[in-house]
Amino acid sequence: MKPLVKTGGGGQKKIRIAVDIDDVLADMTGGWCEWSNRWFDTSFKRQDITDDDWTALWPGLSDAERGRRIELVKSDPAFYPQLRVVPGALGALTELAPNFDLVVMSSRWTDIMPMTERWVTDNLPNIFSAVHTSKCFDEVLYRIGSSNKGRSCREIHVDYLIDDKLRHCLSAAEHGLRALWFAPPAAELLRAKQEKLFQHITPVADWQAVRAYFAGYSAGLGKRR
């Protein structure tokens, strides 16, 4: 795979790819199910998570109790370090890293970014040039359906976003970026095809598909625009 460059600003620079962390790099869904089952005697499985608001799976809770549980997972020093790497991510990113400028673009709270950066360093070393957060949760306070990730990507001159949430991919498209929608649910994919900006989004089933997408680009096997 040869490096891809863009011309501008007095020279050539590598194409910059921003990668989301939760359920793209780190298995947040699996980790959250295990954590809730251990702490609150639930019996969640991965297939139970069909909505962004996972706390809705705790029925009958007051807003105060729901908020307390969220703070518990945020403050648990064992939670984030134990998250597993999504299968295929390390191999694909190791191959991409020499030829692209890779950065992390998370939506996580600002106050857990130090733990996020440590996880990236420990699990995916020497791959990313920077770790950023779009501060989605800080700004919208769990208002599901909102996204400022496209704006945040544009501010740091990202060309591609890889994300598992359609709203973030659409936000990227609104700001002139291309997006790879990671492991989209089949039902949501069918609905998403009606979106005006869907032409700027490419669904990818897994990291093998991400690798193939950029390998084809690098080899000139179809222009990515």
The whole-number mean pLDDT for each consecutive block of 10 residues of the chain, a chain of 225 residues, reads 50 87 95 90 85 74 84 86 96 95 90 90 97 68 61 95 93 94 88 88 96 75 42
Quick one: which of 157, 165, 172 has its CA closest to 51?
A: 165
Q: For position 196, what pLDDT does the model report?
A: 86
Whole-number Å distance between alpha carbons of 84 and 28 = 8
Q: What angle do CA 124, 137, 143 make, to 5 degrees?
A: 135
Q: What is the DSSP letter of 26?
A: B
Q: Do 207 and 213 touch, CB atoms closer than 8 A? A: no
User: What's the whole-model pTM score?
Assistant: 0.86
Whole-number Å distance between alpha carbons of 140 and 160 = 24
Q: For position 59, what pLDDT does the model report?
A: 77
Q: Determine the residue type at 144.
A: I
Q: For position 223, what pLDDT does the model report?
A: 43
Q: For position 19, what pLDDT does the model report?
A: 98
Q: For position 30, what pLDDT does the model report?
A: 93
> Which region holds residue 128: left if phi is over 0, alpha if psi is between -120 and 50, else beta?
beta
